[in-house]
Amino acid sequence: MKHKIVSALCIRDEEWILPRTLDILSVFSDKIVILDDNSTDNTKDICLSYDKVDYEDWPARDNMILRQEGLRKQRNIDRVKQYNPDYVFFVDADEIPTPNIVDFFEDIDESVNLWTLPWFHLWKDEDHYRVDSFITEHGVPIKMDPFAGAQRKGHIMKYDSTVNYKFDVNLHKSVPMQPMNIPEPHSTTDDVGIMHYGKIRKSFLSGDKNRYYAQIEAQTQNHDYEQRVIHHELCKDEKTLRLSHLHPLMKDWSEYEIITPVNYERG
């Protein structure tokens, strides 16, 4: 690769998809910096089986609902410093970049300090993503189409060793992917995307993930637990469901011999 790239992940209990994610990140990353928040599955062993992974356990605590997401992301970006990369690729374990990210890094506009990327919410299976928009019964607008107003996340950051990158360490949930003090200019692109597997994982389909998020919000933001469960369920309503088949960006990684399956039974 033309540039030195470090991928940074904060994870917990991701053995269902982690082998595929690490296989793919290993194609273009010089180092993969992982902070594991007390996984109870085989996550640690999987991480340690990859030569490029720099693995660290996050200290255990009495109340796991206090997710400490801001603190964990701050710790991880601080760990990245030792590698002095050209770029940092921020990602969650259930977010897999499209294969053209390899070419994107080779020809990247080096004047840009942050790139936000389209997010393909896989739905029903790995071959489809959701593209409809709707407003929930509580008046919350939901946009799913990655090319029509849906959320984009800051996945690619040009690294500057003179910047003391900061996250909001007081947040337990919904911490932005990228630090909050990245200098301008920022830009976005449709040339590479992120395939989000989170909405076809077992724990999302069963509602367990939504109940977990509602617990966090009740304890750390003084929300009503039952109301937050309802909110999250409404956000995945399928009354307006419209799916699109695999976008051309989402071609197979097979040319890199990436064949590790996703184990949905453990998701």
Residues 29-60 pLDDT 10s = 999 999 999 999 999 999 999 999 999 999 99
Please return the burial class of 86, using the count of CB atoms within 10 Å of its CB with bins 0-12, 13-18 and 19+: middle
Alpha carbons within 13 A on the beta-carbon side of 266: 16
| SS3 state at 216 | helix
- What's the angle, vertex CA 199, arms to CA 202 and CA 146, rounded to 5? 165
For position 265, what pLDDT does the model report?
78
Q: Alpha carbon of 266 to those of 9, 31, 39, 263: distances in Å? A: 20, 26, 13, 6
Averaged pLDDT of the chain: 94
Of 127, 184, 179, 125, nearest to 153 by C-alpha is 179
In the sheet with 95-97, reading across from the earlier edge strand, the strands are 95-97, 194-196, 119-121
Q: Using the predicted structure, report yes or no on whether residue 167 has a pLDDT greater than 90.
A: yes
| Residue 248 or 181, more confident | 181
Domains of the chain (ranges plus CATH)? 5-121+147-198+247-266 (3.90.550)
CA 196 to chain centre: 7
109-133 pLDDT per residue, tens: 999 999 999 999 999 998 999 999 9
With a CB cutoff of 8 Å and minimum separation 6, the contacts of 207 are 229, 233
Residue 184, both tokens: 């301008």
Write out the E strands in 71-225. Answer: 87-90, 95-97, 114-117, 119-121, 128-130, 133-135, 141-143, 153-158, 186-188, 194-196
Q: Using the predicted structure, report yes or no on whether residue 3 has a pLDDT greater than 90.
A: yes
**Beta bridge mates, 142:** 134
Q: Using the predicted structure, report yes or no on whether residue 97 has a pLDDT greater than 80.
A: yes
For position 35, what pLDDT does the model report?
98
Dihedrals phi, psi of 177, to nearest 5 degrees: -60, -35
Read off the pLDDT band of 201 (50, 70, 90).
very high
Dist CA 86 CA 188 (whole Å): 18
* Contact call for residues 53 and 34 (beta carbons, < 8 A): yes
